[in-house]
Amino acid sequence: MTNQLEQLKTMTTVVADTGDIEAIAKFQPQDATTNPSLLLKAAALPAYQTLLQQAVDWAKLQSSDESKQVIDAADKLSVLIGLEILKIVPGRISTEVDARLSFDTQATLAKARKLMAMYNEAGISNDRILIKIASTWEGIKAAEVLEKEGINCNLTLLFNFAQAQACAEAGVYLISPFVGRILDWYKKDTGKASYTADEDPGVISVTNIYNYYKANSYNTVVMGASFRNVGEITELAGCDRLTLSPQLMDELANTESKIERKLTPDNAQASKLPTLTEQAFRWQLNQDPMATEKLAEGIRNFAADQEKLEHQLKSLF
């Protein structure tokens, strides 16, 4: 019998949730995703030190404004790391917009276009890149515009059905609904130490989104993210894509028990809902304390790591 990772790859596209080149090469995923936290970790790896200096040198040529130079260097580093990853994965790399722009549609548009232009200048076509944006109303509206411009987006920090519905209605290419962070919140809120995979609230959330999309023929790709254990992964076998850490891919690769497909378009049933207005979106998010708290926390944490990365780069000027 083949290991669980290879079995999973026959029913779900596996994506690496890391900026570590060696880990990506080892597990050979189709795509890879990065975020400010992963880039901060990657920036500490010996293999990337030349890229940090390269990003700084490039930024110095773009402007004499020190604050702008640091931002340009961070953008350049994210693209340089993306270019290294694209040498290994056959599919796409997701590169994230600065989380501090999560509530500014126009600034998100400008940053997304800038990142894509940098990839294009390096000879990479749009069809190998996903621009990663937080699933705020402002972020979703930015993604709607970008998709029409031929810039595909990955909407992240997604914890709530309203976020998923709005993304589908905006024609977003891909969403990253979180699993493990939802579980974290419920364990803390209820005091319950553990959940079985089939009752895991994060698994249930992604399953509901997947079924709604398939039943209503939305083309938006569902990519489960933020996993805490292998049980969550196998319970979502059949999801369009799953983005996994190297540690969890290693665990799957070293396990040979059979995986059964749990999600399939043929079994999806869900009635179509009225189109979401901004007011309805904000109200539904407001009424979901888990999603409200985890979205805010995720943006704060990504912003903090972005600032740490910029501080590291600033020291090289």
Q: Which residues are catalytic?
A: 132
Cβ neighbours, 10 Å, residue 117: 12
CA 293 from centre of chain: 18
Could you tell me the CA-to-CA distances from 91 to 83, 181, 189, 280 in Å, in that order?
A: 12, 26, 38, 36
* Strand ranges in the chain using DSSP code E only, listed in sequence order: 13-17, 31-33, 93-96, 129-134, 153-158, 174-177, 221-224, 241-244
Residue pair 267/212 in contact by the 8 Å Cβ criterion: no
Could you tell me the CA-to-CA distances from 246 to 23, 50, 252, 296 in Å, in that order?
A: 6, 24, 10, 26
Residue pair 93/26 in contact by the 8 Å Cβ criterion: no
Cβ neighbours, 10 Å, residue 56: 21
